[in-house]
């Protein structure tokens, strides 16, 4: 199965990676990665720990430079990224959202007002005056989603966004991700939860030891022919 995108030429291209490699010392975290990612995709990255999922996300977001190859962004797009354990500022929930808006150039008063709109969007407006650090794990992830949504990103990257959450919190975060995607946001997320991948993704990329070994529409990934390593991974995760 090819590791190039199944996207057609009619889809706006947001990321085009050509033989990208990322190294940490002698460790090849990403190897010869060639991908095209289009606007409006719901792209899931799957694979075992250490397979390169987080490295690829961080490279797409500009946090890790390529050691070889290059990435093009033909269509400029606003991006936001959520991490598995989002960092909370030692201030109120409202100010946690407002700070990012203020740093982007918005006046503080307007930023605080817009923060309330974002908190309403994720169901946290009633907690606006609480300290962000006192929230539960699920609430903190929803707060992180509010911070991202507030800046109106066109691309949202998420690294294991529900990995440490209880089932109720997972459903809440998944619901918000789906709503954002339905509104036109491009989602690129890593996940060990294959049920979540089925529910949210339109396309799946399987990585192993930094290599992209499979790249397919979600239905083909779960129901079609896969390279042996990807098929074995899928069998192990579902078995």
- Domain of residue 79, CATH code: 3.40.50.300
127 & 207 share domain: no
Give the pLDDT score at 75: 84
48 & 128 share domain: no
Distances in Å between the Cα of 176 and the Cα atoms of 43, 91, 121, 200 are 16, 24, 9, 11
Give the pLDDT score at 5: 46
List per-residue pLDDT tens for the chain, 239 residues long: 544 444 445 458 999 999 999 999 999 999 999 999 999 999 999 999 999 999 999 999 999 999 999 999 998 899 999 988 888 999 999 999 999 999 989 999 999 999 999 999 999 999 999 999 999 999 999 999 999 999 999 999 999 999 888 898 899 999 999 999 999 999 999 999 999 999 999 999 999 999 999 999 999 999 888 888 888 888 877 54
Distance CA 58, CA 233 (A): 23
Q: 203-208 and 27-38: which strand pairing? A: unpaired
Residue 115 sits in which domain range?
Answer: 89-134
**Residue/partner pairs of 71-75 with CB below 8 Å, 24 or more apart:** 71/15, 71/16, 71/17, 71/18, 71/20, 72/15, 72/16, 72/18, 73/14, 73/15, 73/16, 74/12, 74/13, 74/14, 74/16, 75/12, 75/13, 75/14, 75/39
**Which residues have C-beta within 8 Å of that of residue 87, sequence separation ≥ 6?**
none
Domain count, the chain: 2
- With vertex at residue 224, the alpha carbon angle to CA 222 and CA 225, rounded to the nearest 5 degrees, is 120
Domain contains 234: yes
pTM for this predicted structure: 0.90
173 & 200 share domain: yes
Give the pLDDT score at 238: 56
108 & 178 share domain: no
Give the pLDDT score at 233: 87
Extract the tokens encoding 206.
């399987």
124 & 18 share domain: no
233 & 200 share domain: yes
Distance CA 82, CA 220 (A): 28
- With vertex at residue 189, the alpha carbon angle to CA 204 and CA 124, rounded to the nearest 5 degrees, is 140
29 & 82 share domain: yes
Asked which of 134, 168, 191 is the last residue of a domain, the reply is 134
Domain contains 1: no
Asked which of 105, 134, 163 is the last residue of a domain, the reply is 134
């Amino acid at each position: 199965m090819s590791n190039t995108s199944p996207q057609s030429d009619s889809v706006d291209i947001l990321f085009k990676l050509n033989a990208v490699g990322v190294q940490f010392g002698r460790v090849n975290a990403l190897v010869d990665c060639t991908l095209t990612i289009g606007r409006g995709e719901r792209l899931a990255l799957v694979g075992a720990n250490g397979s390169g999922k987080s490295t690829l996300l961080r490279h797409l977001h500009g946090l890790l430079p390529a050691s070889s190859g290059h990435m093009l962004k033909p269509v400029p797009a606003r991006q936001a990224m959520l991490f598995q354990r989002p960092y909370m500022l030692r201030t109120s929930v409202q100010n946690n959202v407002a700070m990012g808006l203020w740093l982007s150039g918005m006046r503080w008063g307007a930023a605080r007002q817009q923060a309330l709109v974002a908190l309403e969007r994720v169901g946290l407006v009633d907690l606006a005056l609480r300290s962000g650090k006192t929230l539960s794990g699920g609430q903190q992830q929803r707060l992180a989603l509010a911070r991202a949504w507030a800046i109106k990103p066109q691309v949202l990257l998420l690294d294991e966004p529900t990995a440490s959450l209880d089932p109720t919190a997972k459903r809440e975060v998944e619901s918000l991700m789906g709503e954002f995607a339905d509104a036109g946001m491009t989602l690129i997320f890593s996940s060990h939860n294959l049920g979540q991948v089925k529910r949210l993704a339109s396309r799946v990329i399987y990585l192993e030891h930094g290599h992209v070994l499979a790249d397919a529409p979600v239905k083909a990934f779960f129901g079609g022919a896969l390279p042996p390593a990807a098929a074995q991974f899928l069998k192990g995760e579902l078995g």
